[in-house]
Copies of this chain bind each other. A is one copy, B any other.
């Protein structure tokens, strides 16, 4: 059912007068991070006091203790705001971030203007209250992982059958990132197979996601070409057993990439960067690798289909394609929930089961910082995770420092 729930809905706060009486540890209201872009072009991110929802019969209430800031969260969190204009006001416990959205970017924000939006794709926590159904009751007190938005909050109500129960020895932090990155990495390998390719290319390859993909590919014996931007990132991946690492900062990058593509036969790439020339350069090098083995000239280029999927926007600049790679090519967006929808619930469930089974090995994530909801809205933190740099990975604990 993952396919339909991903990024789908928001919890509907339901204030009930008997909550305190029934379970004195659960407050009547709790904090939820909200992002608002006003028609005036002002972004406001703040912590709202919202009603703690009452679970329906088939639902559980989860006290969220770990929820990551993924690059895929930043789009909703800050919209198209220019974060160099960001200012933080309010109190330490209730900071308010204000920033300006450039005029020309407002068109793309039209759909969300003046609507206060909860944020946070995935998270994990402990089930503190359960509906009457057996499935819900079975989860009471258990640690579960969830995907579905509105995770930057102290509490989240969720259908019991949409919670992924974690192994008994797993903490919420272990399971906080068990959907977006693991399923994205598995989804890339699955897409590669389904579209008839036998090896793949990944950019921003030293990211948490990239390291995960590298572990999957080693385990599954799938040739992987890792593209990074710094020597230390290349070293990191090589230490982790990567065979093909191409460093954009090294002269001769294009030749090195062509060599790696020739060696692996990779004709599909997943690009986290999006902007600039890299996606096109990958196609150029794929074509060069293919034409090394070509028997006769065709001015239309090789007939082998070359594909680059843009799954991220680390660089929001325009994508520039120098079309010297013939006519057998494709480029397109790639999005986890669209992919999961395509493969269907049974195939998605298989991927989830693999994640749960290898949670602390293949799919382990590393965090550089753990912060509270308020801590995520401090200038230094925003500047840090806003860079989307390798190694700067934030985990929010919305109940940090609050007695359970």
The answer to whether B310 and A318 touch across the interface, beta carbons within 8 angstroms, is no
Min CB distance A67 to B, Å, is: 17
Which candidate, A84-92, A195-203, A292-300, is the interface stretch facing chain B?
A: A292-300
Q: Which residues of B contact A274 (CB under 8 A)?
A: 323
From B79, B298, B300, B335, give the contact of A300 (CB < 8 A): B335
- List B contacts of A112 (CB < 8 A): 297, 299
Task: List the B residue with the shortest CB-CB distance to A73.
Answer: B299
Output the nearest chain B residue to A301 by Cβ-Cβ distance: B333
> Chain A: interface residue count, which band?
35 or more
- Knowing A297-B112, A303-B338, A313-B323 touch, does A331 contact B328 (C-beta < 8 A)? no
| B327 touching A334, Cβ below 8 Å | yes
Tell me if A330 and B328 are in contact (CB < 8 A).
no
> B-facing mask of A308-351, CB < 8 A → 1, else 0?
00110100101111111011111111110110000000000000
In the bound complex, CA of A124 to CA of B160 (Å)? 70
> Which residues from B are CB-within-8-Å of A327?
310-311, 333-335, 338
Contacts of A320 in B (CB 8 A): 318-321
Q: A26-45 vs B: 1/0 string, CB under 8 Å?
A: 00000000000000000000
Closest to A77 in B: B299
Cα A354 to Cα B61 in complex, Å, equals 64
- A115 touches B (CB below 8 Å): yes
Interface pair B7/A300, CB less than 8 Å apart: yes
> Could you tell me the distance between the alpha carbons of A274 and B313 in the complex, rounded to whole angstroms?
23
Instruction: Judge whether B108 and A324 touch: CB under 8 Å.
Output: yes
Q: Could you tell me if B324 and A328 are in contact, using CB atoms closer than 8 angstroms?
A: no
Known A330-B332, A338-B303: A321·B318 in contact at CB below 8 Å: yes
A318-B280, A328-B333, A328-B335 known; A111-B323 Cβ under 8 A: no
Q: Is the contact region of chain A dominated by helix, strand, or loop, or is it mixed?
A: mixed
What's the minimum C-beta distance from A258 to chain B, rounded to whole angstroms? Answer: 11
A294 close to B328 (CB less than 8 A):
no
Q: Which of A276-303 contact B (CB under 8 A)?
A: 280, 288, 291, 294, 296-300, 303
Task: Flag if A275 contacts B319 (CB, 8 Å).
Answer: no
Contact check, A111 vs B298: say whether CB atoms are below 8 A apart.
Answer: yes
Q: Quick check: is A75 within 8 A (CB to CB) of the other chain?
A: yes
A5 CB to closest chain B CB, in angstroms? Answer: 14
| Cβ-based interface call for A235 (8 A) | no
CB distance B324 to A321 under 8 Å?
A: no
Q: How far is the CA of A111 from the CA of B7 in the complex (A)?
A: 48
> Judging by beta carbons under 8 Å apart, are B330 and A331 in contact?
yes
Q: How far in angstroms is the closest Cβ of chain B from A353?
A: 26
Q: Does A76 contact B (CB under 8 A)?
A: yes
Q: Which residues of B contact A76 (CB under 8 A)?
A: 299
Within the complex, what minimum Cβ distance (angstroms) separates A319 from chain B? 4
Q: What 1/0 flags go to A95-119 for Cβ under 8 Å of B?
A: 0000000000001101110010100
Q: How far is the CA of A217 from the CA of B327 in the complex (A)?
A: 25
Other-chain residue from B75, B296, B322, B338 in contact with A328 (beta carbon distance below 8 A): B338
* 5 further contact pairs, Cβ within 8 A, besides A311-B327, A321-B321: A75-B299, A75-B300, A76-B299, A275-B323, A318-B323
Could you name 12 residue pairs across A and B whose Cβ atoms are closer than 8 Å? A7-B300, A112-B297, A112-B299, A275-B323, A300-B337, A303-B338, A313-B323, A319-B321, A320-B321, A328-B333, A328-B338, A330-B333
